[in-house]
Chains A and B, each alone.
Chain A
Amino acid sequence: MINYIFRRIGYMMVTLAIIAVLGYLIVELPPGSYLEFEIARLRQQGGNVSQDQIKALEIRYGLNDPTYVRFFKWITGFVRGDFGESFQYRQEVKDLIGQRLAFTISISVFSLLLAWGIAVPVGVYSATHRNTIPDYIITVIQFLGLSIPSFLVALVLMVVAQRVFGQQVGGLFSDEFQNAPWSFARFIDLLKHLWIPIVVIAFGSTAGLSRIMRANLLDVLGMQYVQTARSKGLKENKVIWKHAVKNAMHPLIMILGGSLPGIISGETVVAIVMNIPTVGPMYFNAQLNQDLYLAATFLMFLSILGVLGNLLADIALAWVDPRIRFE
């Protein structure tokens, strides 16, 4: 098992290295970056000051160096925690993204927990009550969940929150807490704002996950070892949860490993609609404006998250399925 985990971490490092190279190249490739634009502007101004500034920029970003040297400078800086400067915001990338990453990670984790917390029991229930009226009702709700786009759910929930609960929606804090120092009241205020994006992001995946859970569990319930478990005299609950559900989890865990990109893009839509300062919208803009270091840093962090997610999924998979452990 330890070997297995180390091997996976090894693969993970290789994957990240490849992503770093490709990502950097892709972000840098198109001509007309912010930096070139800036230098052109300074040239026009002329004069010594501008010349000095251009020099400083050239040295800092190694504009006269070949691409691989620049990449090397960037990646060694990245590892040390120096992510470079955003051209757009004229700020250190480090200072720009910290809070946004934290919001994105917490929204993703909470919506994953919510989606799984609902999808697994619902899937188990509808599989064990196949072709009963509750199963039919669940099926209808699942299809609605799969077919309604998330921005629509976001809009509906915003209206409901505002009209019915009198909540101020959009953003992360109400006006009075916007710049207030952290306090319990501010935290509650944050939760009031966060539940909508969490529910919206969980909504779509819950439907899909519970469908998959149902289908898998139905397959597993037909397996001989489920009959074996019954033939021991175990309680039906134990037969289902200990002997069947554990074996029906594989596909769900594999999906979990790859679900981060989907969550980030879903999160982007919701964040734009609801005006929430998460990673999604800023990453989207950084790409649009070729804000090299900002975009590359986001790309690296999202990849690290994605690869970490996969690692956790691999470990979970090895835990439920001993056959993988011994590969």
Chain B
Amino acid sequence: MNQSSESTTKSVFEGEDTIIKVRDLHTYFYTDLGISRALNGVNLEIPRGKVMGVVGESGCGKSVTALSIMRMVAKPGKIVQGDITFFRKDKKKNDAIEEINLTKLEGMGPEMRSIRGAQMSMIFQEPMTSLNPSYTIGDQIMEAIILHQNVDKVEAERRAVEILDGVGMANPSLIVKRYPHELSGGMRQRAMISLALSCTPAVLFADEPTTALDVTTEAQILDLMRDLQKRIDMSIVFITHNLGVVAQMCDYVTVMYLGRVVEQATIDDTFYNPMHPYTSSLLRSIPHVGSHQKDRLKPIRGVVPDPYSKVKGCPFHPRCDKAMRGLCDVKVPGLTVVGKSHTVRCFLHSDVEEESTYVQ
């Protein structure tokens, strides 16, 4: 942990300040079936105070990326390689930035635990199961507050009520006494958001937070998250399958394929100037406003290879319409900056290649 220079926090996203930088991250699961290479050299940057969407087909490693950064990957999973750097801003010290290499910390050790829940927190897809059925909403929120903020029970409860009020929960002083099963799905997700925000984190990982909710409730929760993000000035990493939600919520987008990041760009570039063929096909596979009825949706050809096997060359080449024989099936493209706030991993846009010829 040392004071960082200006240059290390400078982002690929122009005008942004990086809060988390992930370099060449490999997270594997050692299962009975073999080694599942869930993350295979993830490179990405999370801009401070902005909302970044993470998209990609099921199994591409979105959740594992978030869990790896939170250092919550549990056995049989393990981070085997790479660096995660957290640029922690200390408001008490004149916004001085401290650089912490999270991969060097022990996942369940005291330093990491003092960051987790306080500096970064997470909300999950299933509001029905993400709160403990045996404790009241208040107890669960207060537990985090007492752990990180050094206050007594009375004060913790007062703050819990205040936070619940802040997420638009009706009757917050009654809700703290309620158990999760007494609340609706939308209320539980609000409670979960309160829990995650109880210590005003700098980064919030939201792993498909609205997938399980009905459309109306989803819209309310999205509004709320946008609103809170501005109020607290935090970064949100918004994991989703729903590109419509991305368009509505995000400033930047990270596209993942098979345990790697294939493209990072601003929201406009992602929708109007996608460079990676995989991003383009993701966009073609969703309906969008203004598209003609006769334009058929195109599902992406082929299936994601299973993460236990190795693919030679660009991992997307078996499914790519633009694959170049003799190049894409032999060499692995490297992630390169191709424009303002835009990085991509594809030979169509750069000839940078990686040393190894196998991705998995």
Contacts and interface: CB of A to CB of B under 8 A. Distances in A.
B134 A228 contact: no
Interface in B104-120: 108, 112-118
A323 interface: yes
B122 interface: yes
B132 A225 contact: yes
Interface in A302-327: 320-323, 326
Contact of A234 (B113, B115, B124, B195): B113
Contact of A322 (B108, B134, B196): B134
Contact of A231 (B72, B134, B179, B181): B72
A229 interface: yes
Interface hub of A225, A235, A243, A247 (most chain B Cβ within 10 A): A225
Nearest to B182: A326
A227 interface: yes
B346 interface: no
B135 to A, nearest CB: 8
Given A224-B124, A227-B124, A322-B179, A235 B113 contact: yes
B79 interface: no
A232 B181 contact: no
Given A224-B130, A323-B181, A232 B116 contact: yes
Contacts of A223: 129
A229 B132 CA distance: 8
A60 interface: no
Given A224-B126, A236-B108, A323-B179, A247 B134 contact: yes
A320 B134 CA distance: 6
A225 B131 contact: yes
A94 interface: no
Contact of B132 (A231, A235, A243, A326): A243
A43 interface: no
Contact of B131 (A228, A230, A233): A228
Contact of B116 (A224, A225, A233): A233
Nearest to B126: A224
A231 B143 contact: no
A interface secondary structure, majority: helix
Interface in B18-69: none
A231 B122 contact: yes
B124 A232 contact: no
A224 B125 CA distance: 9
Interface string A225-253: 10111111111100000010011000000
A223 B130 CA distance: 8
Contacts of B122: 227-228, 231
Contacts of A224: 124, 126, 129-130
Nearest to B129: A224
Interface residues of A, number: 21
A227 to B, nearest CB: 7
A228 B192 contact: yes
Contacts of B147: 232-234
A236 B196 CA distance: 18
Contacts of A322: 133-134, 136, 179, 181
B130 A233 contact: no
A233 B115 contact: yes
A225 B129 contact: yes
Nearest to B192: A228
A236 B182 CA distance: 28
Given A225-B132, A227-B124, A247-B132, A232 B143 contact: yes
Contacts of A230: 72, 116
A201 B118 CA distance: 49
B148 interface: yes
Nearest to A226: B132
Contacts of A228: 122, 124, 130-132, 140, 192, 195
A322 B134 CA distance: 6
Contacts of B202: none
Nearest to B125: A224
Contacts of A321: 133-134
B72 A233 contact: no
B207 to A, nearest CB: 10
A229 B140 CA distance: 9
A234 B143 CA distance: 9
B144 A233 contact: yes
A232 B198 CA distance: 10
A326 B196 CA distance: 28
A225 B130 contact: yes
B249 interface: no
A232 B117 contact: yes
Contacts of B108: 235-236
Contacts of B136: 322
A228 B108 CA distance: 14
Nearest to B127: A224
Nearest to A246: B134
Nearest to B115: A233
Given A232-B116, A233-B113, A227 B195 contact: no
Contacts of B130: 224-225, 227-228
Interface in A67-118: none
A124 B126 CA distance: 26
Interface of A: 223-225, 227-236, 243, 246-247, 320-323, 326
13 contacts: A225-B132, A227-B122, A230-B116, A231-B121, A232-B117, A232-B144, A233-B112, A234-B113, A234-B143, A243-B132, A320-B134, A321-B133, A326-B182
Given A227-B130, A228-B132, A320-B134, 13 more contacts: A225-B129, A228-B195, A231-B70, A231-B122, A232-B147, A233-B112, A233-B114, A233-B144, A234-B117, A235-B108, A247-B132, A247-B134, A326-B182
